[in-house]
Amino acid sequence: MKYKVFALALVAFIGVQAQEENKDKIVETKTRIINVMEDGEMIQKKVMVKTTKEQEIKTDPNYKGTIDAPRVFPATKVSKVIYIDNDDDPFYDKETRVTYYKKDGMTYNFNPTNSGFEIVDSKTNKTIGNARFSANSEVYILDSKDYSGIGYFDNNMFVVEYYDDEGTLIIEKFNDSKL
């Protein structure tokens, strides 16, 4: 009887493990201690960077239902969380989150702010726009030097919609970065 219960529990556990989300996920954590001169005193500050890379595991949809379908490699989402410890306690005092997206071969950082996030060109480090929360939790109000419109996340992309000077609806898509 013990073996039957054990076997049943093992089969249930394996079934739960098989139902987990189909994603490759790599988490890398690096910690550095930095010495900073502050008010004539040398103070140690700790910085920890946690990088998470996620990629869905997919097979070619043209081979649906076959056993040996070739794997396709969709975009990889890269997120960084930076923790800073300014004092001697064991807790980190500040946290910053950065997510990367690509559009037209350029990489952009989506940096969170109190009102939404800012979009920064990763090469020049210049802010190209701000996306702010709206009353609808799934839509952001986007403001940049070139245009104003709305933005939302759809299928691992940030989609921007705005009207140009001629009244034409323009739709731009920022894809998950493959960094």
Under the banding of pLDDT at 50, 70 and 90, the label for residue 3 is low
Q: If you average pLDDT over residues 142-155, what whole number do you get?
A: 86
Mean local confidence (pLDDT), 4-16: 57
What single-letter amino acid sits at 164? D
What b/e readout covers 85-99, taking b as 16+ CB neighbours within 10 angstroms? beeeeeeeeeeeebb
Higher pLDDT, 38 or 16: 38
Q: Are 113 and 130 in contact (CB under 8 A)?
A: yes
pLDDT tens sequence across 96-126: 677 777 777 778 888 777 777 888 888 888 8
Q: Could you give the C-alpha distances from 123 to 79, 105, 148, 178, in angstroms and in order?
A: 17, 12, 23, 16
Q: Model pTM? A: 0.49
Inform me whether the pLDDT recorded for 131 exceeds 80. yes
122 phi, psi to nearest 5 deg: -70, -25
- Report the percent of the chain where pLDDT is more than 90: 3
State the Cα–Cα distance between residues 52 and 59, nearest whole angstrom: 23
In the predicted structure, residue 21 carries a pLDDT above the cut 70: no
